[in-house]
Structures are given as C-alpha cells and as structure tokens.
Structure 1
Amino acid sequence: MLDINHILVVLDSDHPEQIALERALWLARSLDADLTLMTNTYEPHCEEGSALSAIDSNTQLRIKQALLKKADNWINSFVSETSGVNTSTEVHWQKHLHDAVIESMRNKDFDLVIKGTQPHSLVDRIFTHTDWNMLRHCPAPVLLVKNAQPWQHNRILAAVDATAPDQSHDLINDNILSFAEHLADHFDTDLHLGNAYPLVSVAFAMVPEVTAPDDIQSYVTEQHESGCQQWAQKYNIDNDHIHIAEGDTDDVVSEIAARIEADLVVVGTVGREGLAGVLIGNTAEALVDKVNCDVLVIKPQDGVKPDAE
C-alpha cells in the first residue's frame, strides 16, 4: 500500500470554495491516513515595532488574539465534514500561506500536502505566489487540486524526461514513476507515460550559420523512444500507454492529458530559484495552468517511503 499516512490540507480563507478538502477526504479514507487542516492569519500592526505596539500594546495583543480565534473558528468549522477521518487543525501567525506550510512541516512529517489552485498570472509568479513557493520549497510532494470533481477516468499520467543526462533528473524520473505506480496500483487505475522531445530544426533555425545534420531529428526521436521503453519496462507500463510527441513539454503533456482524459498528472520540478525560475519557467508550474486535472508535483528528495512494517 502507498505509504501516505499524514496529509496536510492547506485551506485559504480568501477562496470561496475549499476544493482541496474534498480530494483530501477521499484520499484519507482510501489510504487510512489522518488529516491536518491548516490556515494562516496575520496583521502587520500586531508585530513588534509597529506604530500600534508603541502606542497601545494591550490593544495590539487583543487584536492578534481575536484574529487567531476567528481563524481557528473558521478552520474548525470544516471538521464536521471529516467524519471517520482522524483530523486536527492548525492556525499559523504568518503573513504568507506558504510560510505557514513550511512552519507546519517543521513540527510534523507530512507525506503529502494538498491545496486547491486557481489560474495564475505572470504577476502572481513574480510576486511570490503561494503555489509557486510551495512547489519550490515544500519538503513533501504537493498535490494541486483543480476542481472538486472526483477522479473518474481511472488514468494517471506520469510525465518524464526520458533522456535526462544527469543523475538529478534520473532521480526525479524514478520518484515520479514510483509515486504514479503506487497510486495506480492502490486505486486500480491505468498508468500512462508521457514524454516530449524537442523539434531540433527550431534550435538550428536560431543559428542559421550552422547546418543541421540530415538525420539529427530521427536520432533525437529514436533516443526518446528508447528511453521511454526503458522506463516503461521498469514500471510495467503497457506499450499502448506510452505517449511521445515533439514540442514543449508543458504543451505536449497537457495535450496528452486531455486526450487520454487523465485524472492526475504526476510531474517533477527542480525548483529554479529567483528571476530565472520565473522567466525560464518550470514544467510543473506551466502545467498547472494548462491542464484541467489535478497535478502532483515531485522533487528530487520526494522518494516513495518504504511500507511500514
């Protein structure tokens, strides 16, 4: 059985619907896992050094306590929906929700973090959007839920780089496929493998003084086909469940996910930092906005834990 025993559910009071809770409850009941419902609250005037602290520290304390109590009442209002699941709640005094997630994970080892997501703009990404920061920094796999609909097509798509030249990408591929295989086995769903390969002529078009070898595109295609076959054999994926196409990874994987009606896309990220991460982009982050299904994001350290004895 997949060793997901402790699930952190991130609830955002700014969102009208808490779609992550529905998915978390379904998973927890199926996996016999416990849930921790978590949110944040914050008011800068309640911090040390603020104008209010210099004038009336007692009022400042009462405001902070009132805000924490309000957030606590809000998050505990969802506990009645978790019948049959061992559930606890947490409220963190943090300005940003992603910082509250990191703080929560310092106190407990969670096997999975679940959060609802909405479409993001470039401005969101530049100005430290919660989802992007979670994907980069959360020390556990992150499941971003796109809608409250249950998984209904019995298809999981694992997106890998089949010809990754370095050890870190190989590790991510293994982690992606390990999680996808465990989920597929547990929920008795079909496991598919998706891979994109570059259109080499585009790269050579940018340097017209260099002529592309006649057989270079065939060579690249064959390399990806061979790599996909090796990964598929390792994880017992049927040949007709291997999907390979040319183009940018986020475009190819989103097209495959739509065509096979995937319920979940499992993808990896190396979590680029700073402006480079925004402008270059990570496949995982681009995919979140392009697919209509849930996205499970795996990092190099997110290996599948061994089953408990």
Structure 2
Amino acid sequence: MSIYNNVLVVLDPTTEQQKALDRALELTRKQGGKLTAFLSVYEFSYEMTTMLSGDEREAMKQAVIKDREIWLSGLLAPATAAGLDIAIQVVWHNRPFEAVVKAVLEHNFDLVIKGTHDHDVLKSMIFTPTDWHILRKCPCPVLLVKEHAWPEQGNIIAAVNAGSEQEHHKSLNKRVITKALQMAELLHAKVHLVNAYPGTPVNIAIEIPEFNPQEYNSTMQRHHKDAVKLLADDYAIPAEQCHVLEGMPEDVIPKLARQLDAEMVLIGTIGRTGLSAAIIGNTAEHVIDRLDCDVLALKPENFVCPLEKS
C-alpha cells in the first residue's frame, strides 16, 4: 500500500541525528515509492568573492555542492544497499524554504518530510522560521517530525472542525480523516477524531444579563457532538474514538495527544501568509509547537502556492 509515491525529505547538515531521514526511510520501507534526499546549501562567504572570476565563483559553488552530495551518499549507503529507491538532490539557494517549495513545484513531490523543534513564540512572530514558511507555502502535505516513535497499535489523531458550515472546512475535514485512515492502515494504528469548541464568551455573559451561559455551552457542545458523530459515521469511526472537547485547539489537541500517547496528529492548515500570519498566526502552528509527536499538515484541495503566483 503506497500512500505517497514521490517523497522529498529535507536534511539538516548541522545536526548529527537526521530524524526526518530516519522517518522517511521508515515510511519508504512500509509503503515503497521513491524517496529524494534534499539539501539546500549556501555559503555566505560566497558573497565576498565578487573579486573572483565567474568561473572561479562557479567552481567554488560546485565544490560545496559536491562535498554535500558525497556526505549524503555515505549517509544513504545502507538504505540504498538494502534496495530502497533513493535519489539525491543538493541545490544552491540562500532561502531554504524557497528551495524546498520550488523542488515540490518542479518535481511534483506529494509529501515533504522535515524535522522540527520548538520555536520561541516571540521570534516566530517576528522572524518566521523555515518550518513555518514551508508549512504555509508548500502545496503538498508536510510531515513535521519530532521525537515520538511510530509504535504498532498506536493512536493517530485527526483534528477536525466539524461545527463549521464553511466549504473549505468541510473539504479539509474529509481530507484529514481520509489521510488519517490511510496512515492508520499503514501503521496498524487507531484513528481518533478530535474537535475543539469554544467556551462561553465571558464578555457576553457580563454585558447581557439575560444571557444563559450554561444553556449556551450545552447548545454549543451538542452542535459539535452531532456534527462529529455525522463525520464519524461516514467513516465508520467508533464513538469511543471521538473526542469533542471545550477549549482552544492549541490547548485541546496537545492535551489529548499526551493522554493517548499519539504517534501522529493530522491537521488542516489554510496556509495564511503575510501580515495576517504574523499577527493572527495559524492554528496548526500553535498546535505543532505544543506536540511531541509527528504532525502531518494538509492544505485545502484548491490551495495555490504563493511562489507559483509570483
């Protein structure tokens, strides 16, 4: 069973443990398909070589690329010897996220795998890390790898927004659940649906005396539970694997992931960019920073990559 036939794994030459590569190799062994090990390199000293001739500058660039290709070949030797179909791609680019997205657009990769770590919240708002750029702009699904293993008979969480009537949310719910079921079959895991719903707005309860917060909360909970049940029934997911919880998604999803010791969370992301991303942020990004398991982020079906438009 092959879910992703053409996978790009992003390597990090600054770390000894290549957890993204380890995960990509594990996935390839389970499902087959082609894997491309990708590395974006750039030497800032190159900017200081303007006094050199064009040929000399090109020779310097190619020497750096060749060195990284040799490093990658050695790293991948055991896997290629075992018969896995692995290609190597080293590119020269001073913006790693653009190099990754460009590779996806040019070679039609259907999954990007990258290692990630916690990001400082304030810095994330001012200087968007490479992970966030890839998450927002990459047109194909992105698997961000953390430390949690993929055990047999584990748990996979599909985060849905079942209470919304907006078409893009409905479409994303279907994509998230379908992909979660495919991954669960591959990993011999259970799929759990999680839906967060907002609590009673405090300002309304204070400003409107006749407002009944208990009734509001009960109505909101019932609406979301009914919506999740309809979704679960469509995909034959048992009621005990459905979780409708009050709170913000960035609080609810990580808490449930810890309780279930989940190996993966699947979440839809609209890929907000620009000022709105800096000020408002994306739910997926807030969730990812609080998880210690892998996150598979999926875009809407009609997502248009901003780099493709430019």
- Fold agreement, TM-score > 0.5: yes
User: 1 CA distance for matches of 2:263 and 2:209?
Assistant: 43
Q: For residue 171 of structure 1, what is the aligned residue in structure 2?
A: 171
- 1:154: how far off? 1.5
Superposed CA offset, 1:123-179 (max 9, x none): 145323111011111111100110263334521110111111211111111110110
SS at structure 1 position matched to 2:150: coil
Identity of aligned residues (%): 35
User: 1 CA distance for matches of 2:34 and 2:302?
Assistant: 19
Distance change in 2, residues 1:296/1:189 (3 Å): same
SS at structure 2 position matched to 1:200: coil
1:210 aligned onto 2:195 = no
Note the 1:161-240 alignment, pairs <5 A: 161-202=161-202, 204=204, 208-211=206-209, 213-214=211-212, 215-240=215-240
User: 2 CA distance for matches of 1:21 and 1:55?
Assistant: 37
User: 1 CA distance for matches of 2:3 and 2:48?
Assistant: 49
- 1:33: how far off? 1.5
Instruction: Work out whether residues 38 and 89 of structure 2, in 8 Å CA contact, stay in contact via their aligned partners in 1.
Output: yes
1:60 aligned onto 2:57 = yes
User: 2 CA distance for matches of 1:84 and 1:250?
Assistant: 41
User: 1 CA distance for matches of 2:148 and 2:241?
Assistant: 26
Instruction: Work out whether residues 264 and 293 of structure 1, in 8 Å CA contact, stay in contact via their aligned partners in 2.
Output: yes
Instruction: Work out whether residues 148 and 292 of structure 2, in 8 Å CA contact, stay in contact via their aligned partners in 1.
Output: no
User: 2 CA distance for matches of 1:136 and 1:279?
Assistant: 14
Superposed CA offset, 1:180-218 (max 9, x none): 01111233311100111101233526xx43346322111
Distance change in 2, residues 1:142/1:151 (3 Å): farther
Q: For residue 151 of structure 1, what is the aligned residue in structure 2?
A: 151
Q: For the aligned residues, what is the CA RMSD? A: 2.0
User: 1 CA distance for matches of 2:209 and 2:185?
Assistant: 48
SS at structure 1 position matched to 2:65: helix
- Which amino acid is 1:255 matched to? K
Instruction: Work out whether residues 197 and 221 of structure 1, in 8 Å CA contact, stay in contact via their aligned partners in 2.
Output: yes
Distance change in 2, residues 1:203/1:290 (3 Å): farther
User: 1 CA distance for matches of 2:210 and 2:272?
Assistant: 31
User: 1 CA distance for matches of 2:165 and 2:51?
Assistant: 58
- 1:259: how far off? 0.5
Instruction: Work out whether residues 72 and 91 of structure 1, in 8 Å CA contact, stay in contact via their aligned partners in 2.
Output: yes
User: 2 CA distance for matches of 1:161 and 1:148?
Assistant: 25
Distance change in 2, residues 1:114/1:102 (3 Å): same
Instruction: Work out whether residues 117 and 146 of structure 2, in 8 Å CA contact, stay in contact via their aligned partners in 1.
Output: yes
Instruction: Work out whether residues 111 and 140 of structure 1, in 8 Å CA contact, stay in contact via their aligned partners in 2.
Output: yes
Segment of structure 1 superposing worse, 55-64 or 260-269: 55-64
Q: For residue 75 of structure 1, what is the aligned residue in structure 2?
A: 72
- 1:2: how far off? 4.7
Distance change in 2, residues 1:90/1:40 (3 Å): same
User: 1 CA distance for matches of 2:192 and 2:53?
Assistant: 61
Superposed CA offset, 1:30-65 (max 9, x none): 11111100001113554xxx5633554343223212
Instruction: Work out whether residues 35 and 87 of structure 2, in 8 Å CA contact, stay in contact via their aligned partners in 1.
Output: yes
- 1:77: how far off? 2.1
Q: For residue 102 of structure 2, what is the aligned residue in structure 1?
A: 103
Q: How many residues align?
A: 298
Q: For residue 284 of structure 1, what is the aligned residue in structure 2?
A: 284
User: 2 CA distance for matches of 1:236 and 1:262?
Assistant: 20
SS at structure 1 position matched to 2:49: helix
Instruction: Work out whether residues 125 and 279 of structure 2, in 8 Å CA contact, stay in contact via their aligned partners in 1.
Output: no
Q: For residue 92 of structure 1, what is the aligned residue in structure 2?
A: 91
Unaligned runs of 5+ in 1: 304-309
Instruction: Work out whether residues 194 and 253 of structure 1, in 8 Å CA contact, stay in contact via their aligned partners in 2.
Output: yes
Superposed CA offset, 1:205-241 (max 9, x none): 6xx4334632211111111101110111111110000
1:137 aligned onto 2:137 = yes
- Which amino acid is 2:208 matched to? V
